[in-house]
Structure 1
């Protein structure tokens, strides 16, 4: 039989067999004795782990394995007759001798069918003793034939490959090995192909990157499972699970073995500590444990890096090295199975290289003789971008030669020119990615090596700095492809206007290179960029452009998300800083690539349209000339004329259009887009002045519609609590407000416009649903509309931002009364905006504009508000609002 033994729990008679004759001293093998012994061992091992940062982690794992071995054997002897035809093996990680504090204890009992039936009661006693002792035991009872059948499942075979005898003679050991031998199941070639595909799918399941905010130490890319997979492949293909023996047969270099073993021990130490901190079987470095584990491992905060960031950087670097060496060894296993392929020479300027099984390789056995040959490799690779990758022998030679790659400061002019040619050649971003992954870029630009694996302990930056930088470069490569991407509505149109695209690549490479040094990373990075560009021989104008882009890479994002880009003064100030079309083109593309490369969830339709609108408005301002800034009246006239033409094109008469425009607030023509004004005006058709109308439409920027994002227009008689009720309803619909513009129209009507995106893109509400729900809300009493109560997500609990509330008063122009700007920075949470709106309502304040920005766990919202009489808030009102907001933010434990 397989799986759990019949009669999982022994009866009282069997339990008495393991009871101690002396109540004060539990009998060996009894649950009490096992529990006491292992508790003492675990406490001692934890103390050794904490007290000695240099303790050999392998010795700790071996000590725990030995302790468990002793107790499992004791329970076996207490329950199983010595003459019973049963054999006991440790399998899986336990069989490998890697038993972490909370690891499962996997056991295999080998017995023929007759013995399984005869010994069922005794086996039940054995397993029950271990369970009663609190051990996380998994077990199977199989005959040799059943082992062969079960091994058809690759994971079962993998566990049995590392079977280690606990109570098994030589005959049983040979029987088990014969039952799962390649001649019986999973020959070497099929095993390798299946395990390689399993590894690929596992990497994809965990995001295909080791750089997640909460990485999985065991299953994630570059984690412990990758190292174990190499052991299993070696065992099946070569016949040894000892990687050291691969050195003698040329499958693994001594330096590769040293690196792999060092990083395995680093990962093991992290996992051991994680089990101690979590006190349960936990393989993922969750936020709940990161700070505690960093402290337990002895990391200390410093001026530039938090202790947790230091720990995580160590993990990311270890994972990257495991991936790098694992990729080489997989190639060598493939060659071991398939045999050497016939090399195919590359022609022309790349004749120093050839293809071996579609991997690029150096033909010279002494390659590389100097750094120029290293750069020649990446140029050849980029020119033949379709190949599978770098041949393992050449990859090893490259790793051994890294120390001979100089920094750009020390390099000869000819080598610098080679690097610039790579940037100007085919697939430059792919070349930079490969240089980064293989360690060359960090040697060439030492500042890049310092941000390799560097994470920031927040929810905004999903990737490490180096991985984020490469993501930005990949986005730029998409823009360069010439293929329109609906996520970036005009990027493919802007890219062809770049004079020297390599300058934008350099700006992307350097924009975050100074993270973690203290000070303003934009300014420090600008200094780095200037030194690099001037040293590389770029002209002063090109150097100045790259430097400016690095220093100002946040300018466009901040302007678009925190200021009213419909305000001509905002556009004029931004255009003055940009100064010309060339700077605008580069900054727009860099900003799009930067935001989209920060987190897969950060880029959305609203940001796309916002940046496209800012780009377009600034381009027009530059064309007009900065000495001729557009006035509000001129802007309104242009918008009115364009919107009228749109309505006329759909058959509206001039008198009808004039009547519709008369019902709209004049400031709307200054702040709105022509298409928006036309849409809102058309929405007013057929309703009386006191009626309510809600319209919603998909957001589109320059013709590109984005699923889920909506623009919502609300026209309704004004009354207290209206804004709060709308916000609460949108929140309940699962829509996050990105921007709100609240305008007062003629005869007490409101003209509110909301830009919203779904919180769950998989289930976005339709425009019809939004219209129906909002109209139903506004048809009834607003007092009953309350914010939804939802639990705070787990990860947000680990990030607390002290609320910052700032007031500023201004009188924009004669068309607007004096208002107060409320700036709020705090920890984000579900329903935050709805609660803030409710607080403003209770204070009897009016909202005229809201700009909502969320950066991971950080919410940065700006509101324009007045009191109930349309006046700016005085000091007493500001203090009352401050107190109410703090009570709302700090008193809510959700």
Structure 2
């Protein structure tokens, strides 16, 4: 029961972390070593190293999952028993976590979910504040973490940019996924139109990267069909070209479909009584700002529950804010999207006012008051 409650408690925290999939697995496996007469954290970490490959998890993620299990009691023990103002304490925790800011972030969320599931009174404002202080101090020690950067353009696509024409390629990507590459002369609306074309063809975006070489943009997607066979590259190219030329309003069609879906879901919720209670994730969307963006640019990460067309709607919101996309790095982990964008700062605005403009347009897509805006480095 405790494990189930930990997973339930972790669900609303999924947008707090860059890797909600590892948070969910950590919640599932954190106590797997119990009941064997040894330190369950140590044994559980060893078991996680064997379980990870069986679940198809990469070696790097398996190692991180193992560390989550190994150290799932570290933060509450140190926060309540050690002097957090002692640099040696913070250095010891940072060293134990290998200076890994991502591990620290996921561990923080797992600690909260685990504590709340343990029993009444285990998680309090006092304990939460101590752990928050510990995490903040550890982040300062780990300040040299790698920042998100543009993904390099693959050589085979870099060579195609010289042709300066609209091109679309569709290739098998493994595990029933496809790689879709769209190349076109750069212009405002390029990314949003590309993503909208995919969404209207019932393709779910799992990851994406967008970069500009000279005056030509290269957008690489990893997608999978929601149902049926995927569309041909020729059809995608035709629709993409029509959208860029203004002949097809793919974004308007997508926005109408999105609004209709929300209205229909709301209507059904008011008419149908569910016989068995259903728990849905209530994790709020989040916007995180990277403080060390280059001059004249803004870097932000948007974390939100994924839905078909989300990337297109987010990028259109950025474009409406007057923020041109310099590069983008998009990932979906389970049901959560974690999208990093580097954009030009809207002309004539100070950084603070530019952020406010961008936030205003994103809030309209993400749901307004549920959004939490944080000024901190984003996860890689």
Scaled by the length of structure 1, the TM-score of the pair is 0.26
User: How far apart are residue 836 of structure 1 and its match?
Assistant: 1.1
Is it true that 1:512 corresponds to 2:105 in the alignment? no
Deviations along 1:40-74, one digit per CA (max 9) or x if unpaired, are: xxxxxxxxxxxxxxxxxxxxxxxxxxxxxxxxxxx
Q: Give me the whole-angstrom Cα distance separating, in 1, the residues matched to 2:227 and 2:102.
A: 26
Partner of 1:538: none
Gap change, CA 1:779 and 1:758, over 3 Å in 2: same
Gap change, CA 1:777 and 1:447, over 3 Å in 2: same
Is it true that 1:729 corresponds to 2:197 in the alignment? yes
Deviations along 1:264-318, one digit per CA (max 9) or x if unpaired, are: xxxxxxxxxxxxxxxxxxxxxxxxxxxxxx9xxxxxxxxxx79833999xxxxxx
Deviations along 1:464-483, one digit per CA (max 9) or x if unpaired, are: x999664315369xxxxxxx
- Which of 359, 367, 377 is the aligned partner of 1:890? 367
Is it true that 1:443 corresponds to 2:26 in the alignment? no
Q: Give me the whole-angstrom Cα distance separating, in 1, the residues matched to 2:157 and 2:175.
A: 17
Partner of 2:168: 695
Gap change, CA 1:307 and 1:696, over 3 Å in 2: closer
Gap change, CA 1:769 and 1:892, over 3 Å in 2: farther
- Contact (CA 8 Å) 1:711, 1:754: kept in 2 or not? yes
Gap change, CA 1:554 and 1:694, over 3 Å in 2: farther
Partner of 2:147: none
Q: Give me the whole-angstrom Cα distance separating, in 2, the residues matched to 1:843 and 1:555.
A: 31
- Determine helix, strand or coil for the equivalent of 2:241: helix
User: How far apart are residue 823 of structure 1 and its match?
Assistant: 2.0
Gap change, CA 1:512 and 1:886, over 3 Å in 2: same
Partner of 2:155: 674
Gap change, CA 1:766 and 1:515, over 3 Å in 2: farther
Is it true that 1:851 corresponds to 2:320 in the alignment? no
Greater helix share, structure number = 1
Q: Give me the whole-angstrom Cα distance separating, in 2, the residues matched to 1:549 and 1:698.
A: 43
Q: Give me the whole-angstrom Cα distance separating, in 2, the residues matched to 1:796 and 1:442.
A: 32
Within a 5 Å distance, the mapping from 1:12-91 to structure 2 comes to none
- Contact (CA 8 Å) 1:845, 1:868: kept in 2 or not? yes
Gap change, CA 1:763 and 1:447, over 3 Å in 2: farther
User: How far apart are residue 879 of structure 1 and its match?
Assistant: 1.0
Is it true that 1:752 corresponds to 2:225 in the alignment? no
- Determine helix, strand or coil for the equivalent of 2:192: helix
- Contact (CA 8 Å) 2:211, 2:217: kept in 1 or not? yes
User: How far apart are residue 743 of structure 1 and its match?
Assistant: 1.5
Partner of 1:879: 356
- Determine helix, strand or coil for the equivalent of 2:68: coil
Q: Give me the whole-angstrom Cα distance separating, in 2, the residues matched to 1:856 and 1:775.
A: 31
- Determine helix, strand or coil for the equivalent of 1:885: helix
Within a 5 Å distance, the mapping from 1:703-782 to structure 2 comes to 707-716=176-185, 718=187, 720-733=188-201, 734-736=203-205, 738-743=207-212, 745=214, 749-760=215-226, 763-781=229-247
- Contact (CA 8 Å) 1:847, 1:865: kept in 2 or not? yes
- Determine helix, strand or coil for the equivalent of 2:216: strand
> Looking at both structures, which has the greater relative contact order when contacts are Cα pairs under 8 Å and sequence separation is at least 6?
2
Is it true that 1:862 corresponds to 2:349 in the alignment? no
User: How far apart are residue 885 of structure 1 and its match?
Assistant: 1.7
Gap change, CA 1:844 and 1:856, over 3 Å in 2: same
Partner of 1:387: none
User: How far apart are residue 774 of structure 1 and its match?
Assistant: 1.7
- Which of 306, 329, 333 is the aligned partner of 1:828? 306
Partner of 1:841: 319
Partner of 2:6: 309
Gap change, CA 1:799 and 1:474, over 3 Å in 2: closer
Is it true that 1:471 corresponds to 2:51 in the alignment? yes
Gap change, CA 1:873 and 1:820, over 3 Å in 2: farther
- Contact (CA 8 Å) 1:804, 1:824: kept in 2 or not? yes
Within a 5 Å distance, the mapping from 1:115-264 to structure 2 comes to none
**Could you list the runs of 4 or more consecutive aligned residues of structure 1 that deviate by over 6 angstroms after TM superposition?**
465-468, 547-550, 553-558, 792-797
- Determine helix, strand or coil for the equivalent of 2:69: coil
Tell me the number of residue pairs that the alignment of Structure 1 and Structure 2 aligns: 274
User: How far apart are residue 554 of structure 1 and its match?
Assistant: 6.7
Q: Give me the whole-angstrom Cα distance separating, in 2, the residues matched to 1:554 and 1:732.
A: 39
Q: Give me the whole-angstrom Cα distance separating, in 1, the residues matched to 2:339 and 2:356.
A: 18
Q: Give me the whole-angstrom Cα distance separating, in 1, the residues matched to 2:213 and 2:349.
A: 16
Is it true that 1:800 corresponds to 2:282 in the alignment? yes
Partner of 1:109: none
User: How far apart are residue 846 of structure 1 and its match?
Assistant: 0.6
Q: Give me the whole-angstrom Cα distance separating, in 1, the residues matched to 2:250 and 2:233.
A: 24
User: How far apart are residue 753 of structure 1 and its match?
Assistant: 1.7
Gap change, CA 1:764 and 1:556, over 3 Å in 2: farther
- Contact (CA 8 Å) 1:819, 1:866: kept in 2 or not? yes
Structure 1 unaligned residues grouped into runs of 5+: 1-293, 295-304, 313-435, 452-464, 477-486, 495-503, 525-546, 559-667
Partner of 2:138: none
Q: Give me the whole-angstrom Cα distance separating, in 2, the residues matched to 1:475 and 1:780.
A: 45
Larger radius of gyration: 1
Q: Give me the whole-angstrom Cα distance separating, in 1, the residues matched to 2:354 and 2:285.
A: 18
- Determine helix, strand or coil for the equivalent of 2:230: coil
Q: Give me the whole-angstrom Cα distance separating, in 2, the residues matched to 1:881 and 1:841.
A: 9
- Determine helix, strand or coil for the equivalent of 1:740: strand
- Contact (CA 8 Å) 2:191, 2:210: kept in 1 or not? no
Greater strand share, structure number = 2
User: How far apart are residue 875 of structure 1 and its match?
Assistant: 1.7
- Determine helix, strand or coil for the equivalent of 1:752: strand
User: How far apart are residue 736 of structure 1 and its match?
Assistant: 0.5
Q: Give me the whole-angstrom Cα distance separating, in 1, the residues matched to 2:322 and 2:250.
A: 17
Partner of 1:551: 97
Scaled by the length of structure 2, the TM-score of the pair is 0.54
- Contact (CA 8 Å) 2:325, 2:344: kept in 1 or not? yes
Deviations along 1:407-428, one digit per CA (max 9) or x if unpaired, are: xxxxxxxxxxxxxxxxxxxxxx
Q: Give me the whole-angstrom Cα distance separating, in 1, the residues matched to 2:361 and 2:280.
A: 24
- Contact (CA 8 Å) 1:693, 1:716: kept in 2 or not? yes
Q: Give me the whole-angstrom Cα distance separating, in 1, the residues matched to 2:50 and 2:66.
A: 11
Partner of 2:296: 818
